[in-house]
Amino acid sequence: EVEVLGAQPYPVLDEGVPLTEVASLDLYRQPDPFRTPRREEYRDWVDALEVATMWTGGFPEPLTFSLRARRHLAARRGAFDVVHDNQTLGYGLLGGPRALGAPLVTTIHHPITVDRELDLAAAEGFKRQLSVRRWYGFTRMQKRVARRLPSVLTVSGTSRAEIVRHLGVDPRRVHVVHIGA
């Protein structure tokens, strides 16, 4: 059996695959992206962190989703045989089976640091470059987390090479599993 933990916008899944909603504050929803939540929307410190990061130009979702997912998994300790992280690479997913209640398997399709480099190359002016650097601030966390994982799955040899180069993951710990395999 597979169960998906997801945040907004919630994924559309095949029939019979249950979705557990791990709600964020949905700060980027339409028609009001980058909105400021009402006071009564705040549930805990993770919500405050999410808003503070957005207010300062950062993208909070990889970190805040990982913290919420960790809390959810801890509350359901023993319910899962394995936890599969699909490129979140957030601090909340560290700690192994003791923290998550099951072993962690991580897939990285490609390092977001590649997107960051492309956006920085296209950014004109100091202010825009600073904004791009702040938005992609979460990539520092993703590098740190990726390096601490026992193994990483990816979809191609090219992605493997990028993960090794951009994230600094030991090549012996990056395994290619082709899509459809």
CB < 8 Å & 24+ apart, contacts of 29-34: none
Determine the Cα–Cα distance for residues 33 and 35; give it in Å rounded to an integer. 5
- 81: exposed, middle or buried (Cβ count in 10 Å: 0-12, 13-18, 19+): exposed
Backbone φ/ψ region at 10: left (φ over 0), alpha (ψ -120 to 50), beta? beta
Write the pLDDT tens digit of every residue in 50-72: 999 999 999 999 999 999 999 99
User: Nearest Cα to 145, choosing from 27, 31, 77, 63?
Assistant: 63
pTM, two decimals, is: 0.94
In a domain, 181, yes or no: no
Buried b (16+ CB within 10 A) or exposed e, 162-179: bbbebbebeeeebeeeee
What mean pLDDT do residues 73-83 have?
95
In a domain, 51, yes or no: yes
User: Nearest Cα to 157, choosing from 142, 181, 178?
Assistant: 178
In a domain, 103, yes or no: yes
In a domain, 38, yes or no: yes
For the chain, what is the domain count? 1
In a domain, 63, yes or no: yes
In a domain, 124, yes or no: yes
pLDDT band at 180, cuts 50/70/90?
confident
How confident is the model at residue 88, as a pLDDT? 97
Full residue range of the structural domain in which residue 32 is found: 4-176
In a domain, 122, yes or no: yes
Crossing angle, helix 112-122 and helix 138-148, to 10 degrees? 150
CATH of the domain at 24: 3.40.50
